[in-house]
């Protein structure tokens, strides 16, 4: 059996679509485990409804500790020998799960990811700006010439996951922690098509950017200082205007200012948290 583990935090709007798309998978030998990471938006009510109608569906709740901790919690009582980690704002092709775990089941790899990750809400202008800001290929959530190996695992053998103690919770980049502890990267699983939402309004853009800003930076405090400079208001306006002119849409400047403000605040909050912890 395969266990699909979904951490969720105040994602009531997209969680239902995610679970419904998993219900339509071309294989049936899997369970779905949802960990509510302290949501306050009525997520539990949705989960109780799905529990009544979907076989092999379970959920649990924890205080808000972040996605990495939620994934670890879900893995503790998952039954599958292959663990699959997805997000609550994803939707899936009917053959996604079959294709994702195929290299593991055949012994080719111990862990996989998929390069066929598409933007679910491409018709939204703010979601398209997110791609432009990240330098991603149009309609996809990665740049061109993306490699066949990468550090973020979508599926992994349970024995490998447990061997290194799961994820190291830590915020934005905690899903890289498996790679760091395992010493090897996930292998691409051809044909595992899925769709992932970009932030599509200014509030989501700000909140997501603030979360990104709390990641670990290279070169210690110099890295954080560089991040503060790059996300400062004057730099943000100049870069936003330049890219706005380049794509013939000056609304991008609004996106850039909001995004960079989120990064700026995220860095400051992270630094003050580090200072307070000492």
Residue pLDDT, tens place only, 90-147: 999 999 999 999 999 999 999 999 999 999 999 999 999 999 999 999 999 999 999 9
- In the chain, the number of structural domains is 2
The H-or-E segment that residue 189 falls in is none
Q: Are residues 146 and 92 in the same domain?
A: yes
CA angle 140, 175, 256 (to 5 degrees): 50
Q: Are residues 111 and 214 in the same domain?
A: no
Q: Are residues 65 and 126 in the same domain?
A: yes
Q: CB atoms < 10 A from the CB of 13, how many?
A: 11
- Token pair, residue 51, equals 């529990």
Q: Are residues 13 and 96 in the same domain?
A: yes
Listed range (160-164, 170-174, 186-190) with the worst mean pLDDT: 170-174
CA angle 60, 4, 196 (to 5 degrees): 105
Strand partners, 186: 150
Name the band, by pLDDT with cuts 50, 70 and 90, for residue 204: very high
pLDDT at 275: 54
Q: Are residues 157 and 262 in the same domain?
A: no
Question: 210-245 pLDDT, tens per residue?
Answer: 999 988 888 888 999 999 999 999 999 999 999 999
* Domain encompassing residue 231: 202-277
Q: Are residues 140 and 175 in the same domain?
A: yes
Q: Are residues 119 and 18 in the same domain?
A: yes
């Amino acid at each position: 059996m395969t266990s699909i583990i979904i951490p969720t935090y105040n994602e009531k709007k997209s969680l239902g679509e995610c679970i419904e798309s998993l219900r339509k998978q071309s294989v049936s030998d899997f369970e779905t485990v949802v960990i509510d990471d302290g949501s306050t938006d009525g997520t539990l009510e949705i989960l109780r409804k799905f529990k009544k109608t979907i076989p092999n569906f379970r959920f649990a709740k924890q205080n808000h500790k972040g996605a990495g901790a939620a994934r670890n919690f879900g893995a503790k009582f998952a039954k599958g020998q292959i663990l699959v980690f997805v997000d609550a704002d994803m939707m899936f092709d009917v053959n996604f799960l079959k294709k994702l775990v195929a290299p593991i089941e055949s012994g080719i790899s111990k862990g996989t990811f998929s390069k066929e990750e598409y933007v679910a809400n491409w018709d939204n202008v703010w979601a398209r700006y997110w791609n432009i800001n990240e330098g991603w290929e149009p309609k996809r959530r990665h740049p061109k010439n993306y490699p066949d190996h990468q550090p973020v695992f979508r599926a992994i053998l349970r024995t490998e996951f447990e061997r290194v103690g799961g994820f190291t919770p830590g915020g934005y980049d905690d899903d890289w922690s498996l790679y760091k502890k395992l010493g090897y990267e996930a292998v691409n699983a051809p044909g595992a098509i899925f769709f992932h939402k970009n932030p599509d309004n200014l509030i989501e853009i700000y909140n997501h950017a603030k979360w990104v800003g709390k990641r670990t930076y290279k070169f210690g405090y110099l890295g954080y200082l560089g991040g503060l400079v790059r996300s400062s208001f004057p730099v943000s306006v100049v870069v936003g205007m330049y890219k706005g002119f380049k794509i013939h849409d000056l609304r991008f400047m609004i996106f850039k200012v909001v995004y960079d403000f989120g990064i700026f605040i995220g860095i400051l909050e992270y630094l003050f948290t580090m200072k307070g912890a000492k």
